[in-house]
Amino acid sequence: MRSSGLTLIELLLTIAVAAILLGAAIPSFSSLLARSALSTARDDLIHSLNLARTAAIMRGTATSVCAADANRECAPSNKWEYGWLVFEDPDRDEHCADVDGDGLCDADGGQVLAHVVRTDTRITIRGNHFVGSGLSFDPLGHARWSHGTFSICDSRRVSPPGGIVIAPSGRIRSSVPTDSLSCP
């Protein structure tokens, strides 16, 4: 009489094949997760930059985006990976502090349109010298400088850097391989 169960040899062979297949898939999955994290960071920043440009045009006032610290205040550093503020900037100083969290910049009363907090510590976001720690759009939607770029990098280096390019006209686009991007 034949049993319908598995023998120990068949079970061990099945487990060995599954382990080999899983070992081959994990590096690919890790790379996929890294690319996804870069894409998410890039898309979040592009969304915020488009929000600032659109608000400047629609409201007829300068609107800025700045790297922010944990206190809802523009940070003096070029480290955008912790988050950023999008705000009306009537005095065009590219600075806002909304420490009390009421949605208004404490010094000039500009409205805070968005506060983005990033928690993925493996992603770094740096702006070039035109962007630095902040940038501004005028009421026509133009950027106040020429060709600002952001480099978005994964500290594990399993994926090529991503980036954002902002033209003087205010046009915002994802970078292409011919754009020069550097990772810290």
| CATH code, 43 | 3.55.40.10
In a domain, residue 20? The reply is no
35 compared with 160, residue with greater pLDDT: 35
Asked if the structure places residue 83 within a domain, the reply is yes
Burial 155-180 (b: 16+ CB within 10 A, else e): eeeebebbbbbbeeebebeebeeeee
**In the structure encoding, which two tokens stand for residue 36, read together?**
């996804």
Q: What is the pLDDT of residues 38-89, one digit of tens each?
A: 889 999 999 999 999 999 999 999 999 999 988 889 988 888 999 999 999 9
Identify the CA nearest to 115 among candidates 52, 82, 72.
72
Does the residue 3 lie in any domain? Answer: no
Is 24 a member of any domain? no
In a domain, 12, yes or no: no
pTM of the model: 0.81
Structural domain including 154 reads: 35-174
3-state secondary structure of 28: helix
Q: Which segments of the chain are extended strands (E)?
A: 63-67, 83-88, 112-117, 123-127, 134-137, 148-154, 162-166, 172-174
Looking at the structure of the chain, the number of domains it has is 1
- Answer whether residue 71 is part of any domain: yes
